[in-house]
């Protein structure tokens, strides 16, 4: 499957006006200096950044950029590098984007001997920049190099300096409806019997739907086991039996908690009190996991709380 790379502006139907603005700007090359794409993981920020970049370098008819067929578009489809595109990312073995990473790119951009075409800096995880890196980026954004557009993506704007945020054109990505996920992502890619559980777990996020298609059977198993555990609790079979039904180790803990969260949100519609109890329990479980408590203990505590609800 080649899902992401086939997508165009038209595939984003959730916020037509906003997407239309991006299509016009990147199709014509009349772009702002910097954009900040924000929204939950899987909401389409990185995919949209990719579409914008392809549109910027596309040589097809302006209104249909990225055309998918010109030399530039074909180069992107084959994952060839592009000398005018810079990726600001975490170095291997590190957890943060450091000031050196920003300075290296700023230095490359200051080289006036480049081709003179549009240059792009993409930062797919802007919140990974430490404070020094953000300070350095701010300086670059304050005196933007010519012919350069920055696209920053972030799940959480609160981790960015307000001064960085204020220098960027904001673009907010939100979950889309189930109908969009069904028609644009799932149909033709998954068998009918897998539609419902993927729709439930995707929760309106196209990127999550794509990764659920890729890790299908494992995600489905974790979800069904979480459901089974809650059924055991409802039937009074006890915490130990329910915990056993979850059948996953710490490596899959986050996925299991995500499934419990989705089930909690579903529960809210029929049984408000039980839904809130489960969602609170998931929150507590996440913070326990961060403090290095064993997964078995976290899971038992979650199920006890769920049973109390």
Catalog residues that contact Zn ion under the rule CB under 5 A: 58, 60, 66-67, 70, 73
Calculate the CA 236 to chain-centre distance.
38
Nearest CB to Zn ion, comparing residues 62 and 255: 62
- Phi, psi for 129 (deg, rounded to 5): -70, 130
Contact 213, 207 (CB under 8 A): no
Nearest CB to Zn ion, comparing residues 70 and 138: 70
> What pairing do the DSSP bridges indicate for beta strands 148-154 and 34-38?
parallel
Peptide bond into 66 cis (omega under 30): yes
Nearest CB to Zn ion, comparing residues 73 and 136: 73
For residue 214, the minimal CB distance to Zn ion (Å) is 27
Q: What is the largest CA-CA distance in the chain?
A: 73
Report the distance separating Cα 48 and Cα 257, nearest Å. 28
Report the distance separating Cα 226 and Cα 281, nearest Å. 14
For residue 8, the minimal CB distance to Zn ion (Å) is 10
Nearest CB to Zn ion, comparing residues 57 and 232: 57
For residue 5, the minimal CB distance to Zn ion (Å) is 13
Calculate the CA 35 to chain-centre distance.
16
For residue 72, the minimal CB distance to Zn ion (Å) is 5
Report the distance separating Cα 197 and Cα 206, nearest Å. 14
Nearest CB to Zn ion, comparing residues 75 and 216: 75
For residue 68, the minimal CB distance to Zn ion (Å) is 6
């Amino acid at each position: 499957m080649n899902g992401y790379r086939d997508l165009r502006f038209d595939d984003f139907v959730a916020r037509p006006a906003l997407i239309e603005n991006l299509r016009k700007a990147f199709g014509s090359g009349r772009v702002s200096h910097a954009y900040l794409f924000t929204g939950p993981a899987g909401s389409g920020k990185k995919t949209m950044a990719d579409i914008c970049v392809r549109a910027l370098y596309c040589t097809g008819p302006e209104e249909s950029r990225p055309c998918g067929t010109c030399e530039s578009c074909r180069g992107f489809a084959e994952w060839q590098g592009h000398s005018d595109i810079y990726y600001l990312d975490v170095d291997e073995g590190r957890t943060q984007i450091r000031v050196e990473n920003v300075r290296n790119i700023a230095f490359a951009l200051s080289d006036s001997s480049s081709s003179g075409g549009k240059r792009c800096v993409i930062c797919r995880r802007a919140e990974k920049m430490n404070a020094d890196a953000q300070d350095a980026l701010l300086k670059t954004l304050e005196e933007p190099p010519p012919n350069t557009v920055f696209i920053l993506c972030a799940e959480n704007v609160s981790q960015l300096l307000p001064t960085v945020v204020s220098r960027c054109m904001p673009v907010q990505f939100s979950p889309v409806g189930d109908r969009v996920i069904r028609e644009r992502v799932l149909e033709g890619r998954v068998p009918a019997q897998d539609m419902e559980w993927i729709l439930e777990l995707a929760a309106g996020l196209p990127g999550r739907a794509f990764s659920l298609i890729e890790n299908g059977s494992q995600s489905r198993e974790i979800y069904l086991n979480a459901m089974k555990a809650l059924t055991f609790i409802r039937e009074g079979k006890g915490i130990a039996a329910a915990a056993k039904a979850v059948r996953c180790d710490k490596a899959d803990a986050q996925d299991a908690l995500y499934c419990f969260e989705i089930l909690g949100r579903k529960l809210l519609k029929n049984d408000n009190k039980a839904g809130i109890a489960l969602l609170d329990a998931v929150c507590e479980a996440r913070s326990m996991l961060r403090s290095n408590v064993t997964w078995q203990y976290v899971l038992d505590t979650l199920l006890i709380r769920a049973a109390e609800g």
